[in-house]
């Protein structure tokens, strides 16, 4: 069976996924594309032999589509996800689930009512071989009790539209999710530190870098450096400190070059480059679930909701610099494994 995909949102990540469907993914074909930009939609539809739609709900309900792939901006997600649920079609949604926790709660309620998981959320780091190896070490017990985690999230630069808040609810979301995944426990508090100095490369409205401190249920303390105008590359670091051993993500390149200029390794320049394998695997995972008639698995709506709640605490701390507790509601049975 070839899964007929309707892809909504033809921005950077949408187009990246389109290429992935075309070149890498097996068992699926993008049969419909949708964007509010008609010209762009028509051009992409012609290039990929797909039907063009300009209205997401119309596309979701079309018989041309078995499963929905959402790559639009966060504020558009809720309506599109709920429309897909109503149509009974499985959904892949890029992060964030929704920009606010209240909207995410509506999605949780609808999915719980449907009685089965219908959505896989695009927290691609869970599919990254490096993070998976970290998790294996932690779960295997070789580190002993985990005490600290040091993270760094460095982007070479961000567009002018990037706001101060996005450091939390657009960038740090990835660390918030991966910490829960690595440790199998929830974050209980967040504090955002604004260092006195900032890079001259950041726009005036930004505080860059920022340091975010998280604590978890068992007391693990995590520091996350968010440096989104670091200039030199897209660099994601994670070092887990246990009482018996320390494990860390390594450089991602398979070779290094020795020359008159010394010993050099290429550094990725974008998330699409750094996480290519993770993106390929998460999308194939989604397609395999749909083809197998399976309930959705991998990052869930609940994970998106929890991340949104942690972000809310982070945004409050961004304003007052204080530590904010994260209060989580009871997790519905649907999301327990
Ligand atoms: C962007 O939206 C992403 O999701 C990237 O993975 C992240 O590194 C970047 O900071 C975000 O703005």
The residue that leads in pLDDT, 1 or 222, is 222
CA of 206 to the centre of ligand 1 (A): 16
Mean pLDDT of all residues in 298-321: 98
Q: Which pTM was predicted?
A: 0.96
pLDDT of residue 94: 98
Q: Name which residue sits closest to atom 7 of ligand 1, judged by CA.
A: 171
For the Cβ of 311 lying below 6 angstroms from any atom of ligand 1, the answer is no
Q: Name which residue sits closest to atom 3 of ligand 1, judged by CA.
A: 171
30 sits in which H/E element = strand 28-34
For the Cβ of 271 lying below 6 angstroms from any atom of ligand 1, the answer is yes
pLDDT of residue 202: 95
Q: In Å, what is the CA distance from 313 to each residue of 75, 100, 109, 111, 241?
A: 19, 12, 22, 25, 25
pLDDT in tens, 203-256: 999 999 999 999 999 999 999 999 999 999 999 999 999 999 999 999 888 899
Measured at the alpha carbon of residue 146, what is the angle toward residues 143 and 147, in degrees to the nearest 5? 130
pLDDT in tens, 258-282: 999 999 999 999 999 999 999 999 9
For the Cβ of 80 lying below 6 angstroms from any atom of ligand 1, the answer is no
pLDDT in tens, 107-121: 999 999 999 999 999
Using the predicted structure, report yes or no on whether residue 337 has a pLDDT greater than 70.
Answer: no
Mean pLDDT of all residues in 301-312: 98
- Compute the mean pLDDT over every residue in the chain, rounded to the nearest whole number: 97
For the Cβ of 170 lying below 6 angstroms from any atom of ligand 1, the answer is yes
Three-state secondary-structure class, residue 6? strand
CA of 330 to the centre of ligand 1 (A): 29
149: nearest Cα among 186, 182, 171, 192: 182
126: nearest Cα among 116, 135, 118, 115: 135
Alpha-carbon distance of 119 to 110, in angstroms, equals 11
Alpha-carbon distance of 32 to 233, in angstroms, equals 34
Mean pLDDT of all residues in 23-49: 98
Mean pLDDT of all residues in 24-39: 98
- Contact criterion met (CB below 8 Å) for 51 and 30: no
Q: Name which residue sits closest to atom 2 of ligand 1, judged by CA.
A: 170
pLDDT band at residue 82 under the 50/70/90 scheme: very high
CA of 251 to the centre of ligand 1 (A): 19
For the Cβ of 155 lying below 6 angstroms from any atom of ligand 1, the answer is yes
For the Cβ of 171 lying below 6 angstroms from any atom of ligand 1, the answer is yes
- Contact criterion met (CB below 8 Å) for 214 and 176: yes
Q: Name which residue sits closest to atom 6 of ligand 1, judged by CA.
A: 271
pLDDT of residue 251: 87
CA of 34 to the centre of ligand 1 (A): 23
14, 127, 165, 170, best to mutate for ligand 1 pocket (most atoms within 8 Å of CB): 170
Q: In Å, what is the CA distance from 47 to each residue of 19, 22, 234?
A: 11, 11, 30
Mean pLDDT of all residues in 70-87: 97
Mean pLDDT of all residues in 129-142: 97
11, 71, 155, 208, best to mutate for ligand 1 pocket (most atoms within 8 Å of CB): 155
């Amino acid at each position: 069976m070839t899964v007929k995909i309707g892809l909504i949102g033809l921005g950077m990540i949408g187009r990246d996924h389109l290429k992935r469907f075309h070149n890498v993914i097996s068992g699926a074909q993008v049969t419909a594309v949708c964007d509010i930009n008609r010209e762009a939609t028509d051009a992409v539809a012609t290039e990929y032999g797909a039907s063009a739609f300009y209205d997401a709900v119309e596309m979701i309900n079309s018989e041309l589509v078995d499963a929905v792939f959402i790559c639009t901006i966060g504020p558009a997600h809720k309506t599109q996800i709920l429309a897909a649920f109503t149509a009974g079609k499985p959904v892949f949604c890029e992060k964030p689930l929704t920009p606010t926790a209240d909207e995410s709660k509506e999605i949780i309620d609808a999915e719980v009512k449907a009685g089965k998981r219908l959505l896989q959320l695009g927290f691609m780091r869970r599919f990254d071989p490096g993070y998976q190896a970290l998790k294996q070490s932690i779960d295997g017990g070789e580190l002993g009790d985990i005490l600290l985690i040091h993270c760094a999230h460095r982007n070479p630069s961000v567009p002018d539209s990037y706001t101060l808040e996005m450091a939390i609810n657009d960038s740090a979301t990835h660390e918030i999710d991966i910490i829960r995944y690595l440790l199998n426990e929830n974050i209980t508090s967040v504090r955002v530190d604004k260092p006195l100095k900032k890079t001259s490369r950041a726009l005036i409205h930004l505080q860059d870098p920022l340091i975010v401190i998280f604590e978890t249920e068992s007391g693990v303390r995590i520091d996350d450096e968010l440096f989104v105008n670091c200039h030199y590359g897209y660099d994601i670091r994670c070092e887990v400190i246990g009482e018996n051993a320390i494990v860390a993500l390594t450089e991602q390149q398979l070779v290094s070059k020795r020359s008159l200029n010394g010993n050099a390794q290429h550094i990725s320049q974008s998330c699409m480059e750094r996480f290519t394998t993770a993106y390929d695997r998460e999308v194939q995972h989604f397609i395999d679930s749909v083809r197998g008639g399976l309930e959705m698995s991998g990052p869930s709506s609940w994970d998106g909701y929890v991340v949104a709640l942690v972000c809310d605490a982070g945004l409050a701390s961004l304003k007052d610099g204080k530590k904010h507790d994260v209060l989580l509601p009871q997790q519905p049975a649907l999301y327990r494994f």
